[in-house]
């Protein structure tokens, strides 16, 4: 006879965990959630820290909870009484990994719809078995490609990099998008990328970030080899709508992603071939013009994105700009995957990354349209200057022994050079 507690588990990783452990974890999670609700009016529990683990809780839909457990890093130490483990719980930042958990749900919803949408029977399975099958098929692959050690402020931002162009080039891209949407009736939204930076997007910033993450994951590389299209669910006016996602072949440095109306597509292969015949010559020309523009020094202050700066040394001044309104970031700090492709020692220490997220959390919890500035000095001589106004934030990182006057002067110099006229 099946234990009723066992039915509550829709997905569990590792898959080969014994059922008693699964039931025990379900019971413990339910107890923590109910206990926290005695102090609040909503399901606001998000994180629980113990010496050895850290658990993150997220309720994406009514009646469904996702719980992620991380092992706390530790060092093996020796003392007179024997060896012991020294745990470093402060290296796991709540905001960063809570964002990772939320993003794991958004990624599933992007390509499969909500949990409730999938709680439907089919010819072979009942409703719950069908949902379990969808969850296992997706998350067994998704979890294998998660790189927790590489999570940083970009995960907390949930943002992408945009490529600023001059007016003529941007208008040319916009006219190109308008042309293909008018020519091919099934096309409802477009995403235009150049060298992995966004030039144009017709969907919400949150959905754009999810697709951007997908395009840079091994899951996309695997799927692209087998099929040209797949379903995609995006948010429009507060509702989730299903489209067909088609990615045209990469032309030089440009990737064109299209969201097609499901009901209007009769022959996907024929449409794909016709699209490539029409857009490839124009994309080649646009790519060439953008490349020449960037090589000639156009938008030089933006040309490094967040992939590095001219001076990529550990002691060079760095900055990160983040716009919450359109979920855009740029700067001279290597973030995400790029920080592991940089020169040894050129990235930011983990505690500095966490401190930047702490400063962002502080702004988010104290919303104000008035500009504010915070200056922090770490124990190892890092200075972090944060300025915020109207959901726009800039973080300046200096790694040198300086006075407050020196830091203020260096901050002004960086602001004038990189973010002048944005909000200061």
Identify the bridge partners of residue 239 per DSSP, sorted by sequence position. Answer: 236
Topology of the domain covering 160-296: Beta-Lactamase (3.30.450)
Measure the CA–CA gap between 388 and 423, rounded to whole angstroms: 9
pLDDT at 424 over 60: no
Q: What is the CA radius of gyration of the chain?
A: 24
The answer to whether the beta carbons of residues 204 and 196 sit under 8 Å apart is no
Average pLDDT over residues 332-351: 64
The answer to whether the beta carbons of residues 81 and 210 sit under 8 Å apart is no
**pLDDT confidence of 342, banded at 50, 70, 90?**
very low
Measure the CA–CA gap between 229 and 244, rounded to whole angstroms: 6
Res 158: pLDDT:
92
Buried b (16+ CB within 10 A) or exposed e, 88-124: eeeebbbbbbbbbbbbbbbbbbbbbbebeebbeeeee
Measure the CA–CA gap between 134 and 118, rounded to whole angstroms: 8
pLDDT at 304 over 50: no
By mean pLDDT, which of 38-47, 157-166, 195-204 is the weakest?
38-47
Q: Where are the domains of the chain?
A: 6-151, 160-296, 318-335+348-419
Model pTM?
0.89
pLDDT at 57 over 70: yes
- Exposed/middle/buried for 257, CB within 10 Å: 0-12, 13-18, 19+? buried
Average pLDDT over residues 95-102: 95
The answer to whether the beta carbons of residues 151 and 97 sit under 8 Å apart is yes
Res 308: pLDDT:
45
Res 345: pLDDT:
45
Res 200: pLDDT:
94
pLDDT at 307 over 50: no
- Spatial neighbors of 173 by CB under 8 A, at least 6 apart, are 165, 192, 199, 200, 286
Backbone phi and psi for residue 253, each to the nearest 5 degrees, phi listed first: -100, 10
Measure the CA–CA gap between 92 and 181, rounded to whole angstroms: 45
Measure the CA–CA gap between 145 and 338, rounded to whole angstroms: 16
Res 316: pLDDT:
85
Give the DSSP per-residue string, 23-40: HHHHHHHHHHHHHHHTTS
Report the mean per-residue pLDDT for the chain: 86
Backbone phi and psi for residue 165, each to the nearest 5 degrees, phi listed first: -120, 165
**pLDDT confidence of 38, banded at 50, 70, 90?**
confident
Res 369: pLDDT:
61
State the CATH class of domain 6-151.
alpha beta
Using CA of residue 271, residue 276, residue 282, residue 286, what is the dihedral sign?
A: positive
The reply to whether domains 6-151 and 160-296 share a CATH topology is yes
Res 241: pLDDT:
94
- Residue 291's Cα: distance from chain center in Å? 27
**pLDDT confidence of 423, banded at 50, 70, 90?**
low
What would the pLDDT profile of 160-195 be if each residue is shown by its tens digit?
A: 999 989 999 999 999 999 999 999 999 999 999 998
Measure the CA–CA gap between 23 and 342, rounded to whole angstroms: 44
The answer to whether the beta carbons of residues 54 and 69 sit under 8 Å apart is yes
């Amino acid at each position: 006879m099946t234990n009723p507690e066992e039915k509550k588990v829709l997905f569990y990783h590792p898959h080969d965990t014994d059922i008693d452990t699964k039931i025990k974890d379900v019971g413990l999670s339910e107890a923590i959630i109910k206990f926290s609700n005695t102090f609040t009016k909503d399901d606001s529990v998000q994180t629980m820290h113990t010496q050895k683990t850290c658990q993150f809780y997220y309720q994406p839909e009514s009646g469904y909870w996702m719980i992620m457990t991380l092992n706390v890093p530790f060092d093996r130490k020796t003392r007179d009484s024997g060896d012991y483990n020294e745990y470093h719980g402060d290296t796991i930042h709540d905001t960063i990994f809570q964002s990772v958990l939320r993003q794991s749900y958004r990624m599933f919803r992007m390509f499969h719809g909500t949990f409730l949408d999938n709680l439907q029977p089919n010819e072979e399975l009942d409703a719950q078995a069908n949902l379990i099958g969808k969850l296992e098929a997706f998350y067994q692959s998704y979890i294998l490609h998660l790189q927790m050690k590489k999570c940083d402020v970009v995960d907390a931002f949930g943002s992408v990099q945009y490529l600023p162009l001059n007016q003529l080039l941007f208008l040319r891209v916009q006219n190109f998008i308008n042309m293909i949407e008018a020519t091919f009736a099934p096309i409802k939204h477009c995403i235009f990328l150049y060298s992995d930076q966004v030039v144009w997007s017709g969907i919400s910033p949150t959905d754009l970030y999810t697709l951007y993450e997908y395009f840079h994951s091994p899951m996309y590389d695997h799927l692209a080899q087998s099929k040209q299209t797949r379903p995609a669910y995006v948010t429009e006016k507060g509702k989730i709508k299903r489209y067909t996602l088609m990615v045209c072949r990469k032309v030089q440095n440009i990737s064109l992603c299209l969201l097609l109306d499901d009901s209007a597509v009769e022959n996907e292969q024929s449409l794909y071939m016709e699209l490539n015949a029409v857009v490839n010559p124009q994309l080649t020309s646009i790519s060439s013009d953008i490349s020449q523009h960037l090589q000639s020094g156009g938008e030089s202050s933006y040309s490094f994105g967040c992939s590095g700066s001219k001076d990529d040394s550990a002691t060079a001044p760095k900055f990160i700009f983040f716009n919450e309104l359109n979920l855009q970031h740029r700067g001279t700090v290597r973030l995400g995957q790029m920080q592991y492709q940089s020169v040894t020692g050129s990235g930011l220490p983990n505690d500095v990354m966490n401190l930047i997220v702490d400063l962002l959390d502080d702004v988010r919890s104290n919303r104000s349209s008035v500009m504010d500035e915070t200056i922090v000095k770490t124990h190892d001589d890092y200075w972090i200057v944060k300025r915020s106004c109207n959901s726009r934030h800039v973080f300046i990182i200096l790694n040198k022994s300086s006075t407050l006057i020196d830091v203020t002067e260096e901050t002004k110099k960086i602001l004038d050079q990189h973010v002048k006229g944005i909000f200061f």
